[in-house]
Amino acid sequence: MTLFLKFLFFAGCLGALAAAFVVGYIFIFETGGGNWIGGLAVAAMLAIGGGTLVAFYLLGLAGALGLRVRQEPLYIHWFGRFSAGLLVLAFAVLIGRAIKEGLKDYGARRDREAWDKAGALVDSILSDPAKLQDYATRQGLDAPLPGNSQTTPLEGAVQKGYKDLVGKFLSQGAKVTDNALTAAVQQGSAEMLSLLLSHAKITDDSATISSREGSSASITFMTNFKGPTLSGSSALQAAYDLGNEDILRVLVSAGVQTNLLATQLTGYGKFLCFFPGDVDGKALLQKWADKDSNPAIILSNLETARSQAGSIPPTEDKLAADTLNFSLQYDQIYADPKVRFKELKIEPWMKGVPSYGWNNSPLVRRINRAILEALYPGAIPSPTKGKGFSMYRLLVKNVRNKEGEGGKRLLRTAVSDRDVDLVEFLLGEGFTLQNIADELHSSSFLDVPDDRRMKSYLLGKGMRLKGGS
């Protein structure tokens, strides 16, 4: 029995010591493991380790007490010293954790100070054309500015609107990047953009255009802002988002291909969105001031638009456009009793489409836009008279390879969205349904209003649907 108690004593003490070291290590370094994530892993492992420590500690205590009963008090004295050692270890762990947190805070402060210092240096360089030119002379025309900005001197000059310096950098051989083109677009400077484009070579070969039409290739191409090729895709997107059609025309005229953006706008129905200047903002805001006669979703979206504007109050036209764009996206408008949807002066086919589970598709935007036109006559133009559609028409007109995959993607998207009006517009721009004839199946169309309308339209155009008439 005495031998067994000694085994319990030593096993308990050694096990508790090992568990204490494990718990201390986890506590100091916050080490998680397995499928656990972050703090949850640390908490779980500390709980398991702590429980194991207590179990071994009690096992060692039981052995020491049993040996004392058998007239061997030496072991209980050893256990007392062992307990004191565990307390010392606990204090050491706490000190180690405090040191680690202190070093962590110090490192974070040092990194922040270095970041702020680099940012201040960049701001200082960009604040003065002479300083920026001196930096480019010393470090190189394509060398990034200090810190992690990755901004080149040319890009910085464009961002600051230093036209003369931009011209000088270009004459010295500075590399034009997609970032530089996008910065010029964001500045709203057609003159600066034209200057950059006169020294740039836009990639416009058929192989590149074809590769961009794959979704993964498109994403890769658009994020490759610094080469080796120059697409202008990000600048084109920025010009559309800003509603700057003049800038858009400059880019298109320079050879920036429009396939990718035109397809994206088609798929999301964003060509139906509102831009400031499309609507009579003052008239709409006056109408929305009467809360009792407007749909709740409109008033809610108006508050959302105000809150997202930040500290600088938007213009009346901008606030109204943002409110309407929020209202285009979902299917709450038609269900509001104040809308009296079935009584609205909209196309009859639209009244049969909304139903439970109506999703966020381009067709939803088209119907919602018709609802808004009917609710606020005179204040909202038809879709084809909006700035978004005007820019979309420019992009579609300049799509490459309309007879090939480029044309197929646009038509395929419009047909799958059941947007008859959009398909008719695309046909007028040189696209042909024959390109996707082998993809049209009768079984693809359900017995619902929007599907029946598209199916009837295709049959009226002489298309033969596989598996049907």
What amino acid is encoded at 174 in this protein? A
- Looking at residue 360, its pLDDT comes to 52
pLDDT value of position 341: 84
- pLDDT, average across residues 5-23: 83
Mean pLDDT throughout 284-296? 92
Q: What is the DSSP string of 254-314?
A: TT---HHHHHHHHHHTGGG---TTSS-HHHHHHHHT-GGGS-HHHHHHHHHHHHHTTTSPP
Give the mean pLDDT of 409-418: 89
Contact 184, 172 (CB under 8 A): no
pLDDT value of residue 451: 85
- Mean pLDDT, residues 247-267: 92
| pLDDT at residue 39 tops 70 | no
| Residue 374: HSE in the Cβ half-sphere, 13 Å Cα cutoff | 20
Q: What CATH class has 129-257?
A: mainly alpha
Mean pLDDT of all residues belonging to the chain: 84
Predicted confidence (pLDDT) at residue 224 exceeds the cutoff of 80? no
Phi, psi of 431 (to 5 degrees): -85, 160
Residues 6+ apart with CB under 8 A from 193: 181, 184, 185, 235, 247, 250, 251
Q: Residue 466: CB partners within 8 Å, gap ≥ 6?
A: 438, 440, 441, 442
- Reported as a pLDDT band with limits 50, 70 and 90, residue 31 is low
The stretch 439-445 carries a mean pLDDT of 85
Q: 89-98, 203-212, 256-265, 299-308: which range is least confident on average?
A: 203-212
Which tokens sit at 351?
């009244």
The DSSP bridge partners found for residue 466 are 441
* Residue 233 and residue 185 in contact, taking contact as beta carbons nearer than 8 Å: no
pLDDT recorded at residue 428: 94
Residue 151 CA to residue 249 CA, distance in Å, equals 26
Determine how many CB atoms are found less than 10 A away from the CB of residue 241. 13
441 bridge partner residues: 466
Ranking 107-111, 375-379, 398-402 by mean pLDDT, the lowest is 107-111
- Return the pLDDT at 201: 84
User: 447 CB contacts (<8 Å, ≥6 apart)?
Assistant: none
Residue among 336, 244, 325 at smallest CA distance from 281: 325
Which positions ≥6 away from 211 have C-beta within 8 Å? 217, 221
Q: What is the DSSP letter of 435?
A: G
Residue 441's CB: how many other CB atoms inside 10 A? 11
Give pLDDT, residue 4: 83
3-state DSSP of 176-230: CCHHHHHHHHHHCCHHHHHHHHHCCCCCCCHHHHHHHCCHHHHHHHHHCCCCCCC
Q: How many helices (H) and strands (E) does the chain have?
A: 22, 0
For the chain, the farthest-separated pair of C-alpha atoms sits apart, in whole angstroms, at 107
For residues 187 and 161, is the Cβ–Cβ distance under 8 A? yes
Q: CA–CA separation, 144 vs 450, rounded Å?
A: 53
Label residue 34 by pLDDT band (50, 70, 90): very low
401: left (phi over 0), alpha (psi -120 to 50) or beta: left
Q: Are 67 and 6 in contact (CB under 8 A)?
A: yes
Alpha-carbon gap, residue 380 to 369, rounded angstroms: 9
Position 234, amino acid: S
Task: Let me know: does 206 contact 218? Beta carbons within 8 Å.
Answer: no
Which residue has better confidence, 115 or 336?
336
Question: What is the pLDDT at residue 159?
Answer: 93
Distance from chain centroid for Cα 345: 37
pLDDT tens column, 356-379: 455 557 788 888 999 999 999 889
Coil, helix or strand at residue 427? helix
